[in-house]
Amino acid sequence: MGGPGCGKGTQCKNMATKYGFCHVGLGQLLWQETQRGTRRGQKICDLMLQGLLVPTGVILDMISDHMLSCPESRGFLIDSFRRELRQAKEFERIVGRAPNIVIVFDCSMETMVQRALHRGQVERRADDCESAIRQRLETHYTLCEPILTFYQQKNLLRNIDPGRGSSRRHFCQVLLCHRKSAVRWERAGGQLSPPPGTCTQLRGGALPEVRRLGRGSPGFQSRLTAHVTQACCPGGLTESCR
C-alpha cells in the first residue's frame, strides 16, 4: 500500500523476480484497460483523469481474472489495492483469506508528486498530470486510515520509509518485512497462513471453468478460494487459516 509514486510497484517487481510471485499491479491493469478502447476502459480513463476511484466491482473483476491467469505462481503480490475499507473486506470475502502481510510505503506527498510527474513524462500517462496526482493523493490519505487500522488490528501491518536512500536499500527493507513474517509463521507452529515464498505450485485443472464464471455467479467464490488455497496453504486450510 502507498500513494502514487511511493515506489511500491518497483519493489513488487523485485519481489516477484526473487520469489516467483505473480505481481498484480492494479494501476498497470487499469492503464492497460484504458488502452484497449473498450467502454469500460473509457469509463476508467475518465475517472482516473479526475483522480477518482474506480468502482470496487470493476477492480475485483480485473484482479480476480489476473490471479486466475497465473496458475504457476508461488504467491500473489497485490499492488495498489485496497483503496478503501470496503474493498479490503470484500476482497477477503471473495478470496477466502486475509493476506500474509501488508507493507505500507510511507512517503512524503511532495516526493510522490515529483516521482509520479516523472513517471508520467517517461510513460506518457495522461493520469499522471499534477492536478490528478494531487487529487489521487488526497483521496488516498482520506480513505487509507481505516484500512491501516483494519490490518493493524490483524497484526499484519509493516511500514517502510521509501523516501530516503537507494532503491536497493528500500528492497532490503521489504525483504526484512517478508522474513519477519516468515519467522512469525514458524513460531506459530505453521498454523497461520504460510508467508509468501513458502507456497506450493498451483494446481490449475479447474481454472478454465473458474474463468468462465462471472464474479457474481454461483460457485465463483468457492472456486477462487480453492485456487488461492492451493497456492498459499499446502495441505489445505487449517482451522486458523479459515
pLDDT tens, 104-115? 888 888 888 888
219: which 3 cell numbers? Answer: 460457485
Instruction: Confirm if 104 and 160 have CB atoms less than 8 A apart.
Output: yes
State yes or no: pLDDT of 206 exceeds 50.
no
H-helix or E-strand containing 81?
Answer: none
Q: What is the pLDDT of residue 161?
A: 80
pTM reported for the whole predicted model: 0.65
Q: Please, where are the H alpha helices in 96-206? A: 109-123, 130-153, 167-187
Highest mean pLDDT among 80-84, 93-97, 181-185: 93-97
Question: Which of residues 239 and 230 earns the better pLDDT score?
Answer: 230
Tabulate helix, strand, coil % of the chain (nearest 5).
55, 5, 35
pLDDT at 212: 52
Dist CA 187 CA 185 (whole Å): 6
Residue 9: per-residue pLDDT: 85
Element (H, E) at 57: helix 56-68
pLDDT exceeds 60 at position 24: yes
Q: Quick one: which of 153, 177, 156, 174 has its CA closest to 165?
A: 174
Amino acid at residue number 240: S
* Maximum separation of any 2 CA atoms in the chain, in Å: 50
pLDDT (average), residues 116-145: 81
Lowest mean pLDDT segment, chosen from 87-91, 110-114, 218-222: 218-222
Please report where in the chains the cell 477492480 appears, as a residue. Answer: 59
Residue 205: pLDDT over 50: no
Report angle CA 85, 54, 159 to the nearest 5 degrees. Answer: 45
Whether 180 has a pLDDT exceeding 70, the answer reads no
- For residues 143 and 153, which has the higher predicted lDDT (pLDDT)? 153
Instruction: Find the mean pLDDT for residues 117-121.
Output: 84
Confidence of residue 145 (pLDDT cuts 50, 70, 90): confident
Decide if pLDDT at 229 tops 70: no
Residue 59: name the closest of 104, 27, 13, 92 by CA. 27
Question: So what's the pLDDT on residue 153?
Answer: 92
Instruction: Give the single-character DSSP code of 78.
Output: E
The mean per-residue pLDDT over the stretch 226-239 comes to 52
**What's the average model confidence in pLDDT over 66-72?**
87
**Cβ within 8 Å of residue 40, ≥6 positions away:** 33, 58
| pLDDT exceeds cutoff 70 at 50 | yes
Do residues 96 and 228 make contact, with C-beta atoms less than 8 angstroms apart? yes
Q: Find where cell 480453492 sits.
A: 226
| 24 CA to centre of own chain | 6
CB within 8 Å of 115: residues ≥ 6 apart: 5, 6, 7
Q: What is the mean pLDDT of the chain?
A: 75
User: pLDDT band at residue 172, thresholds of 50, 70 and 90?
Assistant: confident
